[in-house]
Amino acid sequence: MDIGLFGGSFNPPHTAHCIVAETVRDQFGLDAIWWVPSHRPPHKGEAELAHSAHRLAMTERVTDAHPAFETCDIEIRREGVSYTVDTLRALQDEQPETSFQLIIGSDSLRDFGTWHCPDEIIERVPIIVYKRPGAISSVVDPRYANQVRFADAPLLEIAGTEIRARHRKGRSIRYFVPEPVRAYIEEHDLYPGAA
């Protein structure tokens, strides 16, 4: 089985995530995309980070709508800082017959050398890169070039930062996020405006 691992804070999961995941699944003929919400992302601050239980629940609402999408809660269960290499080690130990590929944005590719154990990650799995606004270069560190492929996903300027800001201001986030995610945000009063 060929599985794409799509990690992120998913704070919240949004429409661009869905389009990237489906484009990658289709382009590379993957059997499934496992969305992996991080417990605590190593490269992001926690100031605006919704609790991991909420981010997991929102991600499940997205993946429930697609037969080839699944939510993998391994990083939420593990707690602590979510290092990709730890996730890969655990999943490959649990499922040695599964072929995993890592899906990352071009901004993450640019910073990949600063990740925890990047050389081990690249030895363990190939990487599929999708373009992110502000980081659309396809320049790859020569050490990793043979393991990197690029997705033909459209460049969508939708980001969790923008969605949270819109919501705090009382502006509509409809179509920025899937409807079940929008309903969940409203129901649980996530990303409230300033008092």
- CATH number of the domain encompassing residue 10: 3.40.50.620
- Spatial strand order in the sheet of 148-150: 69-71, 32-37, 2-8, 99-105, 127-130, 148-150
The SS3 of residue 100 is strand
pTM, rounded to two decimals:
0.92
Are 22 and 118 in contact by the 8 Å Cβ rule? The answer is no
Tell me how many domains the chain contains.
1
Query: pLDDT 10s digit of each residue in the chain, 195 long?
Result: 999 999 999 999 999 999 999 999 999 999 999 999 999 887 766 668 999 999 999 999 999 999 999 999 999 999 889 999 999 999 999 999 999 999 999 888 888 989 999 999 999 999 999 987 665 566 677 787 788 999 998 888 899 999 999 999 999 999 999 999 999 999 999 998 754
Question: What is the helix (H) or strand (E) element at residue 130, kind and residue range?
Answer: strand 127-130
CA 13 to mean position of chain CA atoms: 8
The domain of 125 spans 2-156
| C-alpha Rg value of the chain to the nearest Å | 16
- Assess if residue 188 is contained within a domain: no
- Spatial separation of the C-alpha atoms in residues 83 and 78, rounded to whole Å: 10
Q: How many CB atoms lie within 10 A of CB 184?
A: 18
- Assess if residue 180 is contained within a domain: no
The Cβ-side half-sphere exposure at 59, using a 13 Å CA radius, reads 28
